[in-house]
Each structure stands twice: as C-alpha cells, then as structure tokens.
Structure 1
Amino acid sequence: MFDAFVDQFPRFMTWDNWNFLFWAAVTTMEMTVIGIGLGFVFGFLLVYLRLTPGWLFWPVRVVMISYTEFFRRVPFLVLLFLVLFISKGLGFDFSLFAVACLSIVILSTAFLGEIVRAGLESVHHNQWDAASVMNFSRLQTFRYVIVPQAWRVILPPAFAFFVMFVKDTSLTSQAGVLELTQAGKYFNNNGYSAIFSYGTILVIYFALSYPLTRLGWWMEARLRRSRLGEARDRPVETMLVGRGA
C-alpha cells in the first residue's frame, strides 16, 4: 500500500494537478467565506428582530425563533439537496456553487444567530438603560453600546464555526461542486488510488484548517487577556454599578 503511494507521487507532481487542486481549494474557501460571512450578517439581523420588544413584533419573534430552532436541527447535506431541487423546480438556473453558498447561508444564519444572541445577552441590561437615559435609539444602542461589548464573546465561537465549515464544505461534493473532496474523486477516477487521492485531500484540509484553528486560539486568548485587563483596571464603583448594585 505504501509502495503504491510512493510510486504515484512522482506522477502526481505536475503543474496541471497542483493548479487543479489550488482552484479546488479556492472554491472551498470561497464557499466558506461567502456563506459564513452572509450568515453572520443575517444572523445579526435575525437576533435584532428576535430581541425587539413590543407586542407588534410578536409574530416576527415567533418566525425568527422558529427559523433558528428548525435549521439548527437539519442535516446540511439534506438542506443542500433540497435547495438544489427547489431552485430547479422553480426554474432558477443557479450554478452548483451558488446553491452551495445559499445552503450555507441558510444554515449558518441559524447557528451564528444563536452565537450572536448569547453574546448580546452577556451584556448587562443596565447598559440598555444607560443608553436610554442618553437618548440613544434602540438601533444606536445596539450598534454603539451593546455590539462592541458583546463582540468579544461572539467572535471566538463564530470563528470556530467558520473553521468547522471549511471542513463541512466537503459535503457539497455530493451535489457536484468542484471543491477539494470532488477533486479527490477526480484523481481517484483518473488512475490514482483512493488512498493516495483522498490522503492528499486530507493533508490539504489539514493545511487549511490548522492555521485557522491556531489563529482562533490566539484570538480567543488575546480577547480573554483584554477582558481581564479591563476588569482589573476598572474602578470598584464602576463594577458595582455595572452589576446593578
């Protein structure tokens, strides 16, 4: 088995093969960045609507909560096929790449919305009251007071979700998207063994995800140190007021 791997490696080392893999990796990262990026934006919008008070917004809150609970509990692959067949059934000529990105957006909006909600709710409710005293509108309070404080809580799990989806994009190969896993199928169907083909793809996924994981760890540690530093430097009276004392 190892001998076969060694024998195939020199034949694999061509410009065309590596160029093919490079663009497959680019497609993988593009899907992740577009899907998670838009999901993050829509997640913020979802949570803003979900947390808006008043009986007039009750139907909106029900819809937002239902959306979150439903799409957090469906398999991504099933959702991908559903979006693909619905788009074709409605006559939309979407590319497979666009279908994959749309599916990621739908799913990530629900997951990232929950991450955002947890971050926003970590900010003490007195911050809302203080902003109200300063005549901030709800949108101004959300944008200038709550989100900057919640960001440190939101960012680490949101980035971890991004890294996780770099690997989960491999499921889009089942719909025919030409990303890394589909590239492995291509090599396997063109004279390379399955072990060599998918072993190579495995190494590339690791090369993509490990630096991102390390970056996430560094980011989380830096945010933690920043929070501890602020808590240490904050006057005792301010801390008591922040706790509602």
Structure 2
Amino acid sequence: MLERLIRELPRFFSPENLAFLAQGVGMTLALTFIGCTLGFLLAFLLVYLRQTPGWWAAPLRLLAIIYVEIFRRIPFLVITYLVLFFIAVFVDNASLFLIAVVAICIYSTAYTAEIIRGGFESVPRQQIEAALAMNFSRWKTLTRVIMPQSWPVIIPPAVAFMISFIKDTSLVSQVGVFELTFRGKELNNMGFSGILVFGTIALLYFLMSYPLTRLGAWLEKRLAASRHHKPQR
C-alpha cells in the first residue's frame, strides 16, 4: 500500500489534477457562500414577517413558522432531491448548480431564521417600546435599535453555520454537482488510491474551513467585547 502511494504521488499531484481539484474547491466555496448568503437575506425577511403584529398578519406569521419548522426537520440531501425533481417538472436540463444553490438557500433560510430571531429577541423589550413611543416606524425601530444590538448575537452562529455547511455541500455530489467530493470520486475512478484521493479531499476541506473558523472565533470575541463595553464618563 505504501509503495503504491509513493508511486502515485507524482502523477496524482500533476498540474492537470491540481487544476481539477481547484475547480472542485471553487465550486464548493461558490455553493456555500451564494446559497448561505441568499438564505441569510431571505431569513431576515422571514423573521420580519414572523414578527409582524396585527391580526391581518396572522397568516404570514403562520406560514413563516411552518416553513421554519418543516425545513429544519428535513435532511439537506432530501431537500436537494425534492428541488431536483420539482424543477425538472418545469424546466428541462436545468442547471445542477442552480438546483444546488436553491436547495442550500431553502435549508439555510430555515436555520438562520432561528438565529436571527434569537438575536432580535435578545434586545430588551423596553428599548423597542421606547423607540415606538418616540414615533419610530417599525422599520426604523428594526434598523436603528434592534439590528445594531443584535449583530453580536447573530453573526457568530451564522458564520459557524456557513462554515459547517462547507462540509455539507459534499451531499450535492449525489445529484452530480461537480464540487470537491465529486471531483474526488472521479479521481478515484481514474485508478488513484482511495486513501490518497480522499485524504487529499479531507485536507482541502480542512484548509477551507479552518481559516473561517478562526475568523468566526475572532468575530465572536470582538462582538462580545463591543457588546459588553461600557463607555466611560
């Protein structure tokens, strides 16, 4: 086994194979950041609808709650297949990249909506009532009072979710998306040792995730410090 690994190393790390793996890394990062960023923005809208007061908004609040409760309890791979078959009904030869982004967006919206809701609810109710008493509109209260104070609560777990989803993108290889794990399968099918191929794939996932993990830890400390900082008088 060791002799085989040594013999395959020069051929495995050829410029062509490195470019092949780089394409997989690029696809993995693109899927993660596009899908999770869109999901994060849609999650804000979902939470905004969920917290809309008044009897007339009751159906909107109910739909938002149902969406979150359903899609947080369905595995991501199942969501991917549902999106694949649903889009196939209406669009022939739909882009697999688009299918994967939509699936990630649906999944990340449901999860980050709970993170955002927790951040909004961490703001003391008295401050929201004071803003409303000063004739602030609901939108102005959200942007001037709630959001600035909720960022320290929202950003660290949201970044952690995005980092963890770098690994979960490997599941879209099941529907044929050319991300990193799929590229690894192709190299393995070319005859390269599975240990060499997937050991390299594991290392690449680590190299993608670890710097972002450190960034998330730094943001958490920085935001926690700013949140608890009391201005001197």
Q: Is residue 2:94 matched to residue 1:86?
A: no
Instruction: Indicate the RMSD between aligned Cα atoms, in angstroms.
Output: 1.2
Alpha-carbon separation, structure 1, partners of 2:161 and 2:218: 16
Q: Does 1:138 align with 2:138?
A: yes
Task: Look up the equivalent residue of 1:187 and give its one-letter code.
Answer: L
CA distance in 2, matches of 1:161, 1:78: 19
The 8 Å contact of residues 170 and 179 in structure 1, kept in 2 or not, is answered as: yes
Deviation at 1:110, TM superposition (A): 0.5
1:180 CA displacement: 0.3
Structure 1 distance, partners of 2:88, 2:191, is 34
Q: More displaced, 126-135 or 44-53?
A: 126-135
Count of matched residue positions in the alignment of Structure 1 and Structure 2: 233
2: CA distance between counterparts of 1:207 and 1:11? Answer: 22
1:25: which partner in 2? Answer: 25
1:121 and 2:121 are equivalent in the alignment:
yes
Gaps of 5+ in 2: none
Confirm or deny: 8 A CA contact 1:122 1:150 kept in the other structure.
yes
Q: State the SS of the aligned residue for 2:166.
A: helix
Amino acid corresponding to residue 200 of structure 2 in structure 1: T
Q: Which moved further from structure 2: 14-23 or 39-48?
A: 14-23
Aligned-pair distance for 1:93? 3.8
Answer whether contact 1:42 1:109 (CA < 8 A) is retained: yes
**1:124 Cα deviation (Å)?**
0.5
1:127 Cα offset (Å): 1.6
Q: How far 1:94 sits from its partner (Å)?
A: 2.2
CA spacing shift, 1:224–1:2, aligned 2, 3 Å: farther
- Alpha-carbon offset, residue 228 of structure 1: 2.4
- Map 1:44-63 onto structure 2 (within 5 A): 44-63=44-63
Partner of 1:206: 206
Cα pair 2:36 2:108 within 8 Å, conserved: yes
Using the size of structure 2 for normalisation, the TM-score is 0.97
3-state SS, counterpart of residue 191 of structure 1 = coil
What secondary structure does 2:229 align onto?
helix
Residue type of the partner of 2:221? A
Equivalent pair of 2:72/2:111 in contact (CA under 8 Å): yes
Q: Please state whether the residue corresponding to 2:100 is helix, strand or coil.
A: helix
- In 2, Cα distance between equivalents of 1:114 and 1:56: 23
1:87, 1:93 within 8 Å by CA — same for their partners in 2? no
TM-score normalized by structure 1? 0.92
Matches within 5 A, 1:1-245: 1-230=1-230, 233=231
Q: Secondary structure at the match of 1:73?
A: coil
Name the amino acid aligned to 1:157: P
Write the distance in 1 (CA, Å) between the matches of 2:194 and 2:123: 51
Question: Could you tell me whether the CA contact under 8 Å between 1:128 and 1:141 is conserved in 2?
Answer: yes
Query: Which 4+ runs in 1 deviate beyond 3 A?
Result: none
The residue type paired with residue 67 of structure 1 is Y
Distance 1:67 1:83 in 2: 15
Percent sequence identity is 50
Q: Secondary structure at the match of 2:19?
A: helix
**1:92 to partner: Cα distance:** 4.9
Measure how far apart 1:89 and its partner are.
1.5
Letter paired with 1:228: H
